[in-house]
């Protein structure tokens, strides 16, 4: 599948080594987000509250609070407030965040971290609002109801029970950040212990000998034995789905930050090296590293944004003279020069050319809200490094 990469608004960024270049990227994202906020407010109806992507006609698609992506738009708004200190972004972020409040009690999903920590977590980080703190704790309490101590993991999906009995997906590593936060906020180590147990079980069972990841590991809930290993959103069960590998990089970097466990650091470094050996020249992966139609396969800018954000953090923990920061810079520069929307278009999304679920031809070569979220996070982490 061939498509055009837009080389547009951000080409006037000469390089990514100075703060004003990051500020220019933020100004562009602000303009896009202003359009997206207006469009979101115009379309909100029937319980749909957060933008996710565009449909085949180029119209903005909104999702209900229960959708796994619902927290990313509030997170984008909170990050814009963090960057600009403009009260308009804080007010918009509060409005978008509070639409998710009931989700703190939704025990039917493992995606509490994506939904509640990317929204309420960012809000608490930037405002210290105690009401947000309480929602974070309640969300974590809800999430751990899905933990099975025999398996040693938090259950991911409840659907497709004819296919999996106790599925755990690599994405679930990111939801552990909510649990680590809950222990910090309460002093209750229960959340921490569950997060660590889940990370250890995933470390043991989700990786192939070459360092690549399976998307889904299915367990017997009575014995904890592995029943199946699948790559549900990838090309085949033995292929490497790009965003899954990005989740692994991000998840174990975050887990090392929260625990200091050297095994987690080593896994994150190993995944980073695996990616370095296999990424295309511009650093933005094809949707699956084993897609048969490379180089004409769709890219996944969302996976690249996750990777860049994780690499900036991992660089702080890596041995001296690592090349992780330079690799993150390379990915970020590619995203900002060849994967951004023309200004004022695409309902205010910043990044184009992401892939959601290629095997069922869902959200292929489209903007996705989580790509924009992790792009902003990558920019923030780069700015913190001061280079």
Between the CA of residue 195 and those of 174, 201, 269, what are the distances in Å? 10, 10, 20
Give the integer Cα–Cα distance in Å for 79 and 81: 5
Asked if residue 375 lies in contact with residue 351, where contact means CB atoms within 8 angstroms, the answer is yes
Q: Which of 21, 67, 111, 315 is catalytic?
A: 111
Check: CB of residue 339 under 8 Å from CB of residue 331: no
Distance from C-alpha of 61 to C-alpha of 78, rounded to nearest angstrom: 21
Query: In the annotation, is 290 catalytic?
Result: no
DSSP 12: G
171, 288, 290, 365: the catalytic one is: 171
Angle between helices 176-186 and 130-143 in degrees, nearest 10: 120
Label residue 211 left, alpha or beta by phi (over 0 means left) and psi (-120 to 50 means alpha).
left
Residues 259/263/265/268 CA torsion (nearest 10 deg): -120
CA angle 180/186/192 to nearest 5° reads 30
220 classed as catalytic: no
Residue length, the chain?
A: 387
Q: Count CB-CB contacts under 10 A for residue 372.
A: 29
CA 81, 83, 119 angle in degrees (round to 5)?
45
How many C-beta atoms surround the C-beta of residue 38 within 10 A? Answer: 12
CA gap 365, 42 in Å, rounded: 25
DSSP string for residues in 168-224:
EEGGGGGGHHHHHHHHHHH--HHHHHHHHHHHHHHHHHSB-TTS-B-SEEEE-TTT-
Residues labelled catalytic: 111, 171
């Amino acid at each position: 599948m061939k498509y055009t990469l837009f080389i547009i608004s951000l080409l006037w960024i000469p390089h990514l080594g100075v703060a004003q270049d990051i500020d220019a990227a933020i100004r562009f994202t602000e303009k896009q987000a202003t359009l997206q906020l207006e469009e979101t407010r115009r379309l909100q109806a029937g319980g749909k509250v957060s933008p996710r992507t565009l449909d085949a006609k180029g119209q903005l698609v909104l999702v209900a609070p229960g959708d796994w992506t619902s927290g990313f738009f509030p997170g984008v708004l909170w990050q814009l407030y963090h960057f600009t200190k403009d009260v308009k972004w804080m007010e918009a972020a509060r409005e978008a965040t509070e639409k998710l409040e009931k989700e703190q009690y939704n025990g039917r999903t493992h995606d509490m971290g994506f939904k509640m920590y990317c929204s309420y977590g960012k809000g608490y980080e930037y405002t210290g609002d105690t009401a947000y703190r309480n929602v974070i704790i309640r969300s974590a309490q809800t999430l751990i109801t899905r933990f099975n101590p025999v398996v040693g993991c938090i259950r991911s999906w409840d659907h497709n029970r004819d296919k999996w009995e106790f599925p755990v997906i690599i994405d679930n590593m990111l939801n552990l950040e909510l649990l680590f936060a809950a222990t910090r906020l309460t002093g209750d180590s229960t959340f921490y212990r569950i997060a660590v147990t889940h990370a250890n079980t995933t470390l043991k069972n989700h990786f192939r000998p070459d360092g690549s990841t399976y998307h889904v590991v299915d367990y017997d809930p009575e014995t904890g034995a592995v029943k199946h290993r699948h790559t549900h959103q990838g090309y085949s069960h033995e292929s490497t789905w790009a965003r899954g590998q990005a989740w692994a990089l991000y998840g174990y970097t975050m887990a090392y930050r929260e625990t200091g466990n050297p095994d987690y650091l080593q896994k994150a470094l190993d995944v980073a090296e695996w990616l370095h050996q296999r990424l295309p020249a511009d650093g933005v992966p094809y949707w699956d590293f084993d897609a048969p139609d490379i180089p004409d396969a769709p890219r996944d800018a969302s996976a690249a944004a996750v990777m860049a954000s994780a690499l900036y953090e991992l660089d702080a923990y890596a041995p001296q003279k690592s090349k992780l920061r330079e690799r993150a810079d390379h990915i970020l520069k590619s995203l900002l020069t060849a994967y951004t929307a023309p200004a004022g278009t695409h309902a205010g999304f910043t990044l184009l050319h992401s892939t959601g679920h290629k095997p069922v031809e869902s959200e292929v070569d489209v903007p996705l809200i989580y790509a924009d979220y992790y792009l902003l996070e990558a920019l923030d982490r780069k700015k913190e490094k001061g280079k």
